[in-house]
Amino acid sequence: MTRLLAGIGTTIQRQSTSGQAASAIREAILAGQIPPGTPLREAALATELAVSRNTVREAARILEGESLVRYQMNRGIVVTDITADDIRDIYTARSAAELAGVNALAANRDSATYKRLAELVERIENAHASGDTAQVLEGDRLFHATLVSAACSPRLSRFHAQLQQEQRLALALAEQSSRQLGRTADDHRNLLEALRGSRSWARAQLTKHLQAGNAELQRLVDLLAQTGDS
């Protein structure tokens, strides 16, 4: 009888290796060590990671599925370069996902979600006060992911997580240049208070919050582009 799973042990190990390679490259991209638009040379990465070029190729497919890299004609694998149009599109899609979370939270008033959001506001404010931009960004990511999770839709949460990851590409260098983020104070506490109020107020405040984030990120990308041209 044909063994349908013959050799599965080898396959699992190969996937594990490519997954580890993808994790290493992902971490470097999101930390700003590999800027957007940078070509990823298979041979160099294979040598640095001590894996085969095929493993690097498999890792690139994983990252392509996460929209962190793209294949470009005559350039090969390239770290995704987020444009102004991309940012607008990301925030449009984020707004749709997060407003669904607002609607759900306004309907069920889940105390555990409010508690988690309050904890994240404290985390963001403490990080902001200490100048820890990386933790501000991480707290922001978790706050909005928690809001979307109120909709109890795993697919919506996965979609939102990918949007946030794409957005991190444009924010990658912000951790090394916190003054470029623009805000002198954080407004997540105001947003939390709105989420505890009426649905219409919560929706209006979230829209205002995302519009401000969009404008900040557009300005940051413009500043980075000017720096690269100088």
pLDDT-derived band at 230 (thresholds 50, 70, 90) equals: low
pLDDT single digits (tens) 168-181 = 877 765 554 445 55
CA nearest to 124, candidates 147, 99, 141, 106: 141
- Dump pLDDT digits (tens) for 50-59: 999 999 999 9
User: What pTM was estimated for this model as a whole?
Assistant: 0.78
Q: Tell me: the pLDDT tens digits for 72-114?
A: 887 888 998 888 888 899 999 999 999 999 999 999 999 999 9
pLDDT on residue 193: 97
In the chain, the domains with their CATH numbers are: 8-79 (1.10.10.10), 84-229 (1.20.120.530)
The tally of CA atoms less than 13 A away on the side-chain side of residue 168 is 28
Q: How confident is the model at residue 29 (pLDDT cuts 50, 70, 90)?
A: confident
Range 40-45 contact pairs with CB under 8 angstroms and sequence separation of 24 or more: 40/69, 40/76, 40/77, 40/78, 40/79, 41/76, 42/76, 42/77, 45/21
